[in-house]
Structure 1
Amino acid sequence: MDPYTPRITGTIASVRRHHRHPQDDIEDDIDGGHHVSREANSKSNRPGHNDSSFIAETSFVRAPLNSRVVSSTIPPKTSKGKGKQESLDHIPLEIQEALILEDLLFVLMGIECTYITHHPEYSPEEDDPLHGIRFVVLPSLDSSLRDLVERVLPLGMYYTAISAFIEHRSHLDCGMVNHALCAAIREMLRDYQTLLSQLEHAFNTSPSFSLQKLWFYVHPTVHTLSLIYQLILELATADDPGADESSSSSGGSEEDEEEAARNEALGLGGAKLKAVLSEINKADIVGGLPGSSGIPVKGGEVLTIIYERMQNMSGDPTAAAIYGKLLKMAGQPYVEMLRDWVASGRLRDPYEELLVKESKFIDRGILDMDYTDEYWEKLYTLRDGSISAGSSKRHQAGVPPPRSVGGRLPGGACIPPLLESWKHKILLAGKYLNVIRECGIEVKRDHNLSEDGLSMEDERFYKFIEDAYSHANRTLLQLLLKDQQLIPRLRSLKRYFFLSQSSFLTHLLDLASTELRKSSKSASVVKLQSLLDLALNTDVLGEDALFREDLNVTMADSGLYDFLLKVVTVSGVMKAEEGGAGEEPKKEKEEKKPMQAIDAMTFDYNVKFPLSLVISRKTILRYQLLFRFLLHLKHVEQALSSMWVEQKTAPWRCSMPTHPEFVGWRLRVCLLRARMLAFIQQILAFVTFEVLEPNWHRLEAKLERVTTVDQLLRDHVDFLDTCLKESMLTSSKLLKACSKLIVVCQTFAFYSSSFTKSANQAIAAADNPEADTSKTKRWDVLNKFETNFNHWFQVHLDCVQFYASSDNVSLLPLVVRLNSVKSA
């Protein structure tokens, strides 16, 4: 008779009680007295564990709930370890079941026992605790029990991996989303631990408790913990995608053996090689080298991974329920940060988890002095780099590279799929409120925006975002349009820059004619500013005088057409069109030639925040380009008109029927001057009355019914871009032909005194035609002007006709106007 059989009293509990060896009780007493101290010593003595979790915190001030977190550290092996293992061959099946049930209850909590031990290849120093501890059962266990035991064993691996994940992701730098996820998983583990306590109670008290019943109770939990285990594996391997590859490829293949041999030859064998590679990997993560983003999985990336797993396993009700609960609980801090941002404009994101980021280098204190649009565009941006709705490309600097596996942006730059279509509204809602706060206006949270308990899968959350966006829009629009008088400001810009009040400009050009003939570097800006103030005070009255103190004279650094050609063309293309290397020295010589003040003079306009959001430096530059083009046309028109006045004097009006050659030359000069003046006036009238005025009226109509700040900004920029395009300032071919033609007219006007001098010489030599030495020269000069004007006029007309028939229909009226000049 087996010596164990008399000890069986009919219950598994009695078997467990009678089968324990005396030394086990002694050792258990020792273990019970020193368990806590041994566990603490094992943690404190483990290499690299000085700051591995909040358990090392003695005060628990930063993590008061950390005392409840189950540590994933490997418990010290009990005295019932491998050194005491005995064969189960001679033990009856009932006793084997009782012994293996007792061991299973320990293994389900990750503790190695007598008959179920760690896998032989397991190494606490080298294996990643986030992958869990694998357990194996003694081969001598009866085969009828082994099958059930091996089905239960994965629970031990899942539990140790999940516990290690909770401990690892409870660090402060892991972010609030990870903290919330760990809290949600910890709550699920609490149900698992409750189940284990119930199983232990049944094991100790129920005679009918068996391995089959244990499997019946735990098999739903196997699936649940496996789902959590797969999730934490994906989260863990996203930080280091090579972890799985390295662990899966370490199978002792021939390539591994050859590599090990080479490493041994280089003096990097075994643990040394692993240590070197570990240091390299750490350096990659810290330094952000290629192949590693250097950003841990946190914030939006965590939520994206959970959501994608939930979508991929939507056919599994258990998976959908578990991942849905984890997504809701992990997303609560994310949702709270979003709600605070869109409702008050305050960005509280200490761990950089949110889709919106703040650029700390933007100084808010310079808003009154520097009215650039840098504050609006760069202070708050999206972490994924997208700058406008419908734009999927990353345009901004500072956007982290995507993960090497999956192509997903890391950390907060990864926007959860549920929020992808809302990201621009989320960004703008907070930016609008920030503008209001910077103006000294207190932003009060709307009572309609006080929904609690929202999640990213709740329709009320997106209704909340929409309401917050609308509220911010309305508030900022009222501030810009009514309080800051935006529309009167734009009207003043239109009057001053588009020459709607041309009388003050004509007066200014007359007053500053001497100063404007100087070079741009020699002209006095202070004097020009005083003359501008005088012209404005004299000629601009009533409503037209609004904001005239904000208008200033400034000098541009480069010529208008050179600047525009650099913008609309690529370097090298223009050189090829102009003759290549043969004309390059000539071009450099022309660039070194000093520029006249009239060609460099432009207006600047001062605005303060928040109007600088609409009237920004970029929009002021567009106004300046249009103004300089109109000013150049106005200046050439004035010069040709002065030439006409000069040609009404005696040398041009005297009758000389006996000298038909001089009369013909004089007539051709007057005719060329009239054609040039007609051309300049037609261009000026087209740009003023058929481009600027109609587009301005359309802009005013849009401003009357604008509903969002974003639409307001877009309409204003579209108005200026349309004006630039229809004024022929955005096409390199049109710009080149038009600028050449205007320069020919300007140069011809500069020759007015030379023509008058030639006319006087011709009259003086009327009695002696042989004494007229300037006859050939004056005809050569006139022929050159006629040839150049006719050539560039035809080139310009052809270009206008081509673009009017293709992509710029607004040029059709100009075609009619130019044809009238041609036929004149």
Structure 2
Amino acid sequence: MEPFTPRPRTGPRKKMTLSTKEFNKITGTIASVRRNRLPTDDIDEEIIANGHTARGNRARSQEPSFLAETSFVRAPLNSRVSSVSAPPNAKGKARLEPLDHVPLEIQEALILEDMLYILMGIEGSYITYHPDYSPEDDDPLQGIRFVVSPALDSSLRDLVERILPLGTYYTAISSFIEFRSHLDFGLVNHALCAAIRDMLKDYQTLLSQLEHAFSTSSQFSLQKLWFYLHPTVHTLSIIYQLVLELASADDPGADLDSSSSSESDPEEDARNEALGLGGATLKAMLSEMDKNGLDEPSGIAVKGGEVLAIIYERMQNMSGDPTAKTVYGTLLRAAGVPYVAMLRIWIMTGRLVDPYEELLVKESKFINRGILEVDYTDEYWERRYTLRDGSTLAGASKRRAGVPMPRTIGGRLPGGACVPPLLEGWKHKILLAGKYLNVIRECGIEIRRDSAVDEDLTMDDEKFYAFIEDAYTHANQTLLQLLLRDQQLMPRLSSLRRYFFLSQSSFLTHMLDLAHTELRKSAKSASIVKLQSLLDLTLNADPHGDDTLFREDVKVTMATSTLYEWLLTVNNVSGVIGGDEPEAQVQPQEDDKKSDKKPMLAIDAFALDYTVKFPLSLVISRKTLLRYQLLFRFLFHLKHVEQSLSAMWIEQKTSTWRTAVPHYQDLEDWRRRVFLLRARMLTFVQQILAFATFEVLEPHWRALEAKLDKVTTVDQLLRDHVDFLDTCLRECMLTTSRLLRTYSKLITTCATFAQYGGSFTKNLAQAIAASETEAGDQSMPKRKDILERFEKNFNVWFQVYISTVQFSAASENVSLNPLVARLECVKVPENVNTGGGA
């Protein structure tokens, strides 16, 4: 701001505009005019003063203690000192000396005296409030308007009207300071008001100096008053425009409401009705929109980041004006002090101290560590602390619960949800730095930081952003050490690889043998307690394994639907596995089909779960565990079908199947076709299993280990882990509906065929016995028909499946090329009769 102190006089007294004699004559005339008005005014003032004194004495004894007044807590000084002048009192003004009856020099002296009052927002004698002004009805934040007596000489009027806006600016700014000093407007508004108040102190100092010059200097004129006030007019106008924008942002619909409430023109209404721009139809539509909440105001005061954003935008828009840039820069630094202080506490300690919801970070207090211990979802990490504007690292901000509506369509968000433009590129680092430290604090680890950080950091200082970067790096390294070293993250992931990816699956073979009877029951009838005890028995068979510490964390659970039904529904609904509550989206469709489905077997619903404690639950979250479970169920089903087909192969090595019947060629052909179909199915299952384990899971696991050895941030660790699981799901063909549909048909055919192994053996024994009788074997056509159905079903779906895999490998997923080569061995040469075609 420009200095307000008037320049000292440099010339001697003899260079004054008026001589001493002329100055004394003017002073005497003004004194004479005042004496003519004094008696009546003095009597009136004395009566009024006496009346006020008497009433004051009577009321003083009845006044309650000031301690009971809330105003002393909310705004002690501003609640007791009103910035709005009293309404004009017409008494005594009729006796004023008309300006057109006095000389020009006296007019200037009288107007100068009035101007000193106007500059403080007080009504003068010849410069009065606008006739339409009403203290009760007018908005004080718009300022008081003044009018000059029409009798004033035109040569003086021009200078007066140049200075007159200062009175409006001063009253508006003073009302703004009074209004925004209440607690509800937050610390940023308080700091802004304090900075503006400091500027007004300079203005008031200038006025006191001008008043002194008016009282003591005979050379003081209206022209000199304008000379000293000229820089201040521009400065206060800059602050006044800011005040108006902050006030209008609180209630953007005020102007619209006032205009709509005014009287309408019937002719214009008729024209708008004809054009479809008005009338009852449009009003009804707008009313319905308001009811639906489409145009609801946010109801949030302009505070916090929004105040800083408005000041910054004005500073950028007026950057060509050096005074405006200086004033707004000063206000931005001052208003940002409490904001920066809250940010420092957040990124240095992980504690969010934001009593007025001004900061860009928001805390959901209902999500705490107690909930996490029961159900370790991602909520603690993703929703306990979030950005108020709803944006995430995965993408731009989007409408979600808890994010307020913008002030206007496409406009800025209100209050703390508005991120200051200077912090827009740093908001995610600010959020994560505090979140990392908060996790460390939740683990009971004391956070020690160097307290010798510069206390005078501001948002326009490069040191501030270096400080944010250092805090983010420190929080990252601290939490990474906690997860990788103290919480043994890599051994945990290795145990998940063993149990869910079946890297050492000897326990599963033993488990399937022991739990064969229980797994053949329906999912509702199977005992989870019994299955859990059998799992514990198989896991503890090796007492010296690397995963001894984590075996108790593996639990048995039952899914609510089969793997392929669930995957197909999720891919059709959202296309994303592990999204927000996918099971909730799938459940209604499952309920609709329950009446048409057979009871699901326990073998199809069997799944593993894993118990993880905080803070490892941030990495091994419920969403990531869902991905592990899907891959496990995929591999488990393959293992089960492989074991069933292998058991069928063992059964077909018995004497019944090895007994030759040379005289019964149809039976020999039937037996050979059963052998071939079983071998092709077993080969298919083994090739899929080998591809999933050796071509997908194992290479990507090695790549994940290499990445985690070099990881530098927690978020990179989380992304690498989730990317690893998503890649495995995609390359195992669990995210493409076309592949899933054909694969599920094919694997179901193999599983059903394996279940018929005992029936085939029984039919073969009956056929051999019947072939030795005179009547012969009459059931061979039925046996052939059943086998042909299996052959045809397998061949048709296999042909569709391999075509789909080849198309996907050529167009969107080149990682399927090894599978295409592996499936070539399942094809049957054309010269071999399979009964159903290949």
TM-score (norm 2): 0.87
Contact persistence 1:383–1:399 (CA under 8 A): yes
Quote the Cα distance in structure 2 between the aligned partners of 1:25 and 1:554: 100
Contact persistence 1:291–1:404 (CA under 8 A): no
1:542 lines up with 2:545 in the alignment: yes
* Deviation sequence 1:4-56 (CA, Å, 0-9, x none): x99964486665544324545874797699899989x99xx9xxxxxxxx999
Are residues 455 and 571 of structure 1, via their aligned partners in 2, closer, same or farther at CA, if it must alter by over 3 Å? closer
Superposition deviation, residue 503 in structure 1: 0.5
Are residues 742 and 731 of structure 1, via their aligned partners in 2, closer, same or farther at CA, if it must alter by over 3 Å? same
Tell me which residue corresponds to 2:313.
308
Superposition deviation, residue 667 in structure 1: 0.4
1:733-772 equivalences in 2 (<5 Å): 733-768=738-773, 770-772=775-777
Are residues 564 and 37 of structure 1, via their aligned partners in 2, closer, same or farther at CA, if it must alter by over 3 Å? farther
Letter of the structure 2 residue corresponding to residue 726 of structure 1: E
1:808 lines up with 2:813 in the alignment: yes
Quote the Cα distance in structure 2 between the aligned partners of 1:586 and 1:153: 76
Superposition deviation, residue 330 in structure 1: 0.4
Aligned with 1:570 (options 573, 579, 582): 573
* Deviation sequence 1:318-353 (CA, Å, 0-9, x none): 000000000000010000000100000110100000
Aligned with 1:774 (options 779, 796, 799): 779
Contact persistence 2:78–2:178 (CA under 8 A): no
Tell me which residue corresponds to 2:403.
399
**Structure 1 regions of 5+ residues with no counterpart?**
46-53, 260-279, 573-583
Superposition deviation, residue 652 in structure 1: 1.4
Superposition deviation, residue 444 in structure 1: 1.6
Give 3-state SS (helix, strand or coil) of 2:303's partner.
coil
1:452 lines up with 2:455 in the alignment: yes
Give 3-state SS (helix, strand or coil) of 2:362's partner.
strand
Quote the Cα distance in structure 1 between the aligned partners of 2:431 and 2:156: 60
Letter of the structure 2 residue corresponding to residue 315 of structure 1: G
Contact persistence 2:553–2:612 (CA under 8 A): yes
Are residues 813 and 104 of structure 1, via their aligned partners in 2, closer, same or farther at CA, if it must alter by over 3 Å? same
Quote the Cα distance in structure 2 between the aligned partners of 1:35 and 1:324: 47
Tell me which residue corresponds to 1:579.
none
Aligned with 1:477 (options 476, 480, 497): 480
Contact persistence 2:33–2:97 (CA under 8 A): no
Are residues 768 and 253 of structure 1, via their aligned partners in 2, closer, same or farther at CA, if it must alter by over 3 Å? closer
Contact persistence 1:60–1:66 (CA under 8 A): no
Contact persistence 1:130–1:162 (CA under 8 A): yes
Are residues 665 and 59 of structure 1, via their aligned partners in 2, closer, same or farther at CA, if it must alter by over 3 Å? closer
Give 3-state SS (helix, strand or coil) of 1:543's partner.
coil
Aligned with 1:149 (options 134, 156, 160): 160
Contact persistence 1:516–1:597 (CA under 8 A): yes
Aligned with 1:170 (options 159, 181, 195): 181
Give 3-state SS (helix, strand or coil) of 1:381's partner.
strand
Tell me which residue corresponds to 1:635.
640
Contact persistence 2:604–2:637 (CA under 8 A): yes
Q: Percent identity?
A: 69
Quote the Cα distance in structure 2 between the aligned partners of 1:25 and 1:626: 102
1:487 lines up with 2:498 in the alignment: no
Contact persistence 1:8–1:14 (CA under 8 A): no
Tell me which residue corresponds to 1:19.
33
TM-score (norm 1): 0.88
Superposition deviation, residue 88 in structure 1: 1.8
Tell me which residue corresponds to 1:277.
none
Quote the Cα distance in structure 1 between the aligned partners of 2:441 and 2:267: 62
Letter of the structure 1 residue corresponding to residue 141 of structure 2: L
Quote the Cα distance in structure 1 between the aligned partners of 2:327 and 2:542: 76
Name the stretch that deviates more: 396-405 or 379-388.
396-405
Give 3-state SS (helix, strand or coil) of 2:712's partner.
coil
1:624 lines up with 2:591 in the alignment: no
Are residues 349 and 771 of structure 1, via their aligned partners in 2, closer, same or farther at CA, if it must alter by over 3 Å? same
1:817 lines up with 2:831 in the alignment: no
Quote the Cα distance in structure 1 between the aligned partners of 2:393 and 2:47: 65
* Deviation sequence 1:423-452 (CA, Å, 0-9, x none): 00000000001100100111122346x221
1:199-598 equivalences in 2 (<5 Å): 199-245=210-256, 254=265, 290-388=295-393, 391-394=395-398, 396-404=400-408, 407-447=411-451, 450-539=453-542, 541-570=544-573, 588=593, 592-598=597-603
Superposition deviation, residue 198 in structure 1: 0.9
1:102 lines up with 2:107 in the alignment: no
Give 3-state SS (helix, strand or coil) of 1:117's partner.
strand
* Deviation sequence 1:115-161 (CA, Å, 0-9, x none): 11111222222211111111110111111111111111111111111
Are residues 30 and 468 of structure 1, via their aligned partners in 2, closer, same or farther at CA, if it must alter by over 3 Å? farther
Give 3-state SS (helix, strand or coil) of 1:538's partner.
coil
Number of residue equivalences: 771
Quote the Cα distance in structure 2 between the aligned partners of 1:395 and 1:65: 42
Name the stretch that deviates more: 108-117 or 339-348.
108-117
Quote the Cα distance in structure 1 between the aligned partners of 2:447 and 2:715: 20
Contact persistence 1:11–1:207 (CA under 8 A): no
Name the stretch that deviates more: 30-39 or 634-643.
30-39
Quote the Cα distance in structure 1 between the aligned partners of 2:150 and 2:142: 24
Tell me which residue corresponds to 1:50.
none
Name the stretch that deviates more: 392-401 or 733-742.
392-401
Quote the Cα distance in structure 1 between the aligned partners of 2:152 and 2:674: 118
Quote the Cα distance in structure 1 between the aligned partners of 2:551 and 2:220: 94
* Deviation sequence 1:158-189 (CA, Å, 0-9, x none): 11110110111011000000000000101111
Are residues 34 and 739 of structure 1, via their aligned partners in 2, closer, same or farther at CA, if it must alter by over 3 Å? farther
Tell me which residue corresponds to 1:731.
736
* Deviation sequence 1:261-302 (CA, Å, 0-9, x none): xxxxxxxxxxxxxxxxxxx9xxx99x9883311101000000
Contact persistence 2:430–2:472 (CA under 8 A): yes
Letter of the structure 1 residue corresponding to residue 505 of structure 2: S
Contact persistence 1:81–1:112 (CA under 8 A): no
Tell me which residue corresponds to 1:265.
none
Quote the Cα distance in structure 1 between the aligned partners of 2:753 and 2:552: 37
Contact persistence 2:87–2:135 (CA under 8 A): no
Superposition deviation, residue 748 in structure 1: 0.4
Letter of the structure 2 residue corresponding to residue 215 of structure 1: W
* Deviation sequence 1:72-97 (CA, Å, 0-9, x none): 32335467776555532211111111
Give 3-state SS (helix, strand or coil) of 2:607's partner.
strand
Tell me which residue corresponds to 2:4.
none
Are residues 221 and 252 of structure 1, via their aligned partners in 2, closer, same or farther at CA, if it must alter by over 3 Å? farther
**Structure 2 regions of 5+ residues with no counterpart?**
1-18, 60-65, 271-286, 576-588, 830-838
Are residues 254 and 562 of structure 1, via their aligned partners in 2, closer, same or farther at CA, if it must alter by over 3 Å? same
Contact persistence 1:80–1:114 (CA under 8 A): no
* Deviation sequence 1:228-252 (CA, Å, 0-9, x none): 0100100000011133456689998
Name the stretch that deviates more: 423-432 or 801-810.
801-810
Superposition deviation, residue 361 in structure 1: 1.7
Name the stretch that deviates more: 197-206 or 119-128.
119-128
Give 3-state SS (helix, strand or coil) of 1:508's partner.
helix
Contact persistence 2:339–2:359 (CA under 8 A): yes
Contact persistence 2:99–2:151 (CA under 8 A): yes
Letter of the structure 1 residue corresponding to residue 413 of structure 2: L
Quote the Cα distance in structure 1 between the aligned partners of 2:704 and 2:25: 91
Contact persistence 1:386–1:395 (CA under 8 A): no
Contact persistence 1:555–1:597 (CA under 8 A): yes
Tell me which residue corresponds to 2:63.
none
Superposition deviation, residue 592 in structure 1: 3.1
Quote the Cα distance in structure 1 between the aligned partners of 2:206 and 2:320: 27
Letter of the structure 1 residue corresponding to residue 103 of structure 2: P
1:602 lines up with 2:607 in the alignment: yes
Contact persistence 2:87–2:134 (CA under 8 A): no
Letter of the structure 2 residue corresponding to residue 702 of structure 1: K
Superposition deviation, residue 254 in structure 1: 4.1
Are residues 222 and 360 of structure 1, via their aligned partners in 2, closer, same or farther at CA, if it must alter by over 3 Å? same
**Structural RMSD (CA):** 3.2
Contact persistence 2:74–2:182 (CA under 8 A): no
